[in-house]
Amino acid sequence: MSSSRRKHTPPRRPSRPPASDNAERRRRESKHEDTSLIQLALKGDQSAFARLREKYHDAIYNLIYRMIREKEEVEDLTQEAFIKAFASLSSFNDEFAFSTWLYKIATNNCIDHIRRKKLQTFSIDKPLESKESDIVFELPDSTYEPDQDMIARQRKKLFDDAINSLPPKYRQVIIMRHQEELEYQEIAQILKLPLGTVKAHIFRAREMLYKYLRDKLRNY
């Protein structure tokens, strides 16, 4: 046997692209899909809105849940974030990622929600005790103005008018959800509707309320 016989060299396997390249490619593809869906949505294509909502629902839901940790309110805030995003979709700059823009809207919406809850639970007349001393004092309520009652009545009338402007099937679910404070499953059982239909009706009703209030407030 000749010592000059060449050793067998196994064929080289094709090298795989680095994981970072795959991630970048997926980001580009996702952004391209978002741009196409946004263009269709702006032309009134409802299926494009639905696809964007489906694509980012879980991510927005998880983001909001991490911020407020109150499951019964997370779905409502998730839908509000999409409503606000879709209502201002024409202002979106496609140089940036749609997901980043949507996350910002959802985060700001959560912050507003947390602030509202703090205002509702904080009593201005409640004695405050300093942790560093035994001093207890009260804050006088100097914020009351004679026309606050009138403003509150006007605001309530505006919301009542907005709700009354809804078609009956949407008005019904909004009242059950936000005035009677029923859970989605309870509404579905009472109305004998699929749970998904109830959620879709509430989502659509909120979109219509948001548009109605936005248009009305422009004239104030």
- What does the pLDDT read at residue 100? 85
pLDDT of residue 123: 37
Q: What is the pLDDT of residue 158?
A: 79
Please tell me the predicted confidence (pLDDT) of residue 12.
64
pLDDT at 33: 92
Domain range summary for the chain, segments of one domain joined by + = 24-120, 150-220
Helices then strands (H, E): number in the chain?
Answer: 8, 2
> Tens of pLDDT along 113-126?
877 776 554 333 33
CATH architecture of 150-220: Orthogonal Bundle (1.10)
The model's pTM: 0.54
Residues shown for the chain = 220
> pLDDT below 70 — which residues of the chain?
1-20, 118-152, 217-220
Fold of 24-120: Rna Polymerase Sigma Factor; Chain: A (1.10.1740)
